[in-house]
Amino acid sequence: MFAIHLTLLDVSTAPTGEAGPADVQGALWACAVPGDGLEHVRACALPEGVGLVLYVRAPDREAAELRAYALLDRALAEGPARRFAVAAPP
């Protein structure tokens, strides 16, 4: 299992507050399928959006990152989580 750290930027004009992390976490679990390998999600509010750690089961880090980004693409495509965009990875 690999920990994938990400920052989501709030691209809307509404305040993020505590609803932002809950919206993102809910969207991730709603979109996750067994092939994503998602084990755990940690989300916290940041001034610029949401900090995320996705714990992903995969054979190596590269596969875990690909799975995490594919899941995020689906989760951020609609619903309340669509107000966020993935910041460029470090």
Domains of the chain from N-terminus onward: 2-86 (3.30.70)
Q: Which residues contact 67 (CB under 8 A, 6 or more apart)?
A: 35, 36, 37, 38, 56, 58
- Give the integer Cα–Cα distance in Å for 74 and 62: 19
> Which pLDDT score is estimated for 19?
72
Summarize pLDDT for 48-62 with one digit per residue, the tens. 889 999 999 999 999
- Is the confidence at residue 24, as pLDDT, over 50? yes
Q: Which candidate, 28, 23, 35, places its Cα nearest to that of 64?
A: 35
- Give the integer Cα–Cα distance in Å for 63 and 26: 23
Q: Which candidate, 8, 79, 75, places its Cα nearest to that of 38?
A: 75
> Which pLDDT score is estimated for 14?
66
- Is the confidence at residue 90, as pLDDT, over 50? no
